Amino acid sequence: MIVEPTWKRIGLREPLEENSGKGIGIIILDYIVPHISLHHLKGRVKQVKVHKDLTITCSDVFEEPLTEKVTRDTEHGLMVLSLLAHQSLEFKGNLYSGLAPSANFIFLPTSKPDRIKAGLEWILDQDWNARILLNLWVPQPFGWMSPTNQDIDVQAMQPALDAGLLVVAAGGNSKALNNLHPNSFFVVGGFNDKGVNEKSRYEQHPSASYGLNGDGYWRPDLLAPYTYLPLPSLTGEGLNYFGGTCGASTVVAGLCAYLMSIMPELTPNDIRNALTEVGDVIEDFPAPIVNGDKAIQLLKEGYRNSKPPSTEPLVKVTDENQSILSKNPLERALSLTMLIKKEKLTRDEIWRHTNDESPMVKKVAIQGLGDPVDQLEREKYWSKVHKESSECGVREVWAYSLLSTTTKEELDKWMSLVEYRTIDIWICINLFLRKFYPDAPEMEISPDPDPKIMTSIVAPVLDWYKQSINSSEVSF
């Protein structure tokens, strides 16, 4: 399979110049190590660490000894940085290049909200011309629906918004997510372009999140390629591939850095509004698809629109007892969250809301139920897994709820879910097997939803399962 370069797949006719992103500081919420493949970035990559007592240390990453080692813990940050700034590579007739190779990068490796906030405040006090915050923390995987300003992660990133940075956020890789990013973030979702810029082949990606946030705004703002984002191999020759909305948001952040570097007068909202204005619209896709050339042309022609996105909640709950009866599903979800958190509902009452017509409300109810209280109720959970749909992730939320308290004896039940062929379900199955049956083949979950790929992932596990039954090596 020939995979086209990322610059081509985001609608550019030619690679961006080597000085793309020059002078622009990009803050990245991720961890980085001094990998040898990126040694050309010496002097332009910093890592800011916030310690438990909120003291801060900063290092120049490539002043440290270089490493060739890549682990699961370090791979993610390396691929993000490589997508943005890897050296140009010709491979099988294509030229692969980073999107903002001349930018400066500041990594902030923490998931603790108080440390994120302290780190951002410290970084913004430095003379680093930070213009973009690449937020790779996808929406919290909880079922609650609340106004986004109550989210502690959103609060932690407020310093970046107050300082006028463009916050580019990964939209999320699971339909099980419920309360999505705030409208103040420029949210990038994903679609399946199958590795090429050919609109007739585009498909929605079954795992990419979309829907309303707790304020009533539709998320995401823009779509970018989700699978097979190429970069030079970190461990040898050829290409490695990144994926998910972390990859999609990274390539959009790189394009934004380019625009900021060639037109310094642009505001974050000029760029955000231009990209959404000229994005390619495909029927039934949840947002426009990024088109770099159209955006560049529009801005060079003088388009300016600094109007900020509205953040005023479109739906408010003043009386949760009345709003729980509303015809508006978001209003019901918000009020149900409040009622459960205030312990105003019995367990039977919460159960009744799992039959709501809205997937959003169902996810809140499942979150409110938490772990099953006994074996009888556990069987009800299993029944719900099979009866619900994966279209909006309700089946997957039930599965995640079962996973935390599962036992070895539920092997048959987990294997019965293989037929649903969704990444979240298979993640649950793989986690179950890793915990209780470590001799089972590991499922290398791929972001590629192609049926042939999916079949190849699960086939070894199914063979193991059948052989285990036949040889009676597994007790049930």
Give the range among 51-65, 186-200, 346-360, 461-475 with minimum mean pLDDT: 461-475
| Distances 256 to 83, 208, 296 between C-alpha atoms, Å | 14, 22, 10
Tell me if the pTM is above 0.75: yes
pLDDT band at 476 (very low <50, low <70, confident <90, very high): very low
Note whether 250 and 83 are within 8 A (CB): yes
- In terms of pLDDT, which residue wins out, 116 or 237? 116
Q: What is the mean pLDDT of residues 420-435?
A: 95
Rounded Cα distance, 351 and 353, in Å = 5
Whether 401 shows a pLDDT value over 90: the answer reads yes
Cα four-point dihedral sign 462, 464, 468, 474: negative
Q: What are phi and psi of 130, to 5 degrees?
A: -65, 120
Give the per-residue pLDDT at 236.
Answer: 87
pLDDT tier at 469, thresholds 50, 70, 90: confident
The answer on pLDDT for 398 being more than 50 is yes
Residues 128-143 have a mean pLDDT of: 91
Domains observed in the chain: 6-300 (3.40.50.200), 370-471 (no CATH)
Tens-digit pLDDT profile for residues 208-224: 999 999 999 999 999 99
Pair 135, 167: CB distance under 8 Å = yes
- The average pLDDT across 425-442 equals 96
Report phi then psi at 180, rounded to 5: -90, 175
- Let me know the angle formed at the C-alpha of 250 by 243 and 167, rounded to the nearest 5 degrees: 135
- pLDDT at position 470, please? 80
pLDDT of residue 212: 97
Mean pLDDT over 15-35 rounds to 97
The type of residue at 364 is V
* Element spanning 80, H or E: helix 72-85
Average pLDDT over residues 86-91: 96
| Residues 105 and 240: beta-carbon distance below 8 Å | no
Average pLDDT over residues 75-86: 98
| pLDDT interval class at 142 (50, 70, 90) | confident
- Cis peptide bond prior to 147, omega within 30° of 0: no
CA separation, residue 389 to residues 116, 231, 358, 401, 425 (Å):
36, 36, 12, 15, 12
User: Looking at the predicted structure, is the pLDDT value of residue 474 above 90?
Assistant: no
* Coarse DSSP helix, strand, coil percentages of the chain, rounded to the nearest 5 percent: 40, 15, 45
Mean residue pLDDT across the chain:
96
The pLDDT of residue 134 is: 98
Query: Residue 472's pLDDT band (boundaries 50, 70, 90)?
Result: low
Give bridge partners of residue 107 from the DSSP assignment. 28, 47
Say yes or no to pLDDT of 393 above 60: yes
User: Cβ(139)–Cβ(209) under 8 Å?
Assistant: yes
Q: Residue 146's pLDDT is what?
A: 96
The predicted pLDDT at position 139 comes to 82
Residue by residue, DSSP assigns 376-411 as: HHHHHHHHHHHHS-TTTTHHHHHHHHHHTT--GGGH
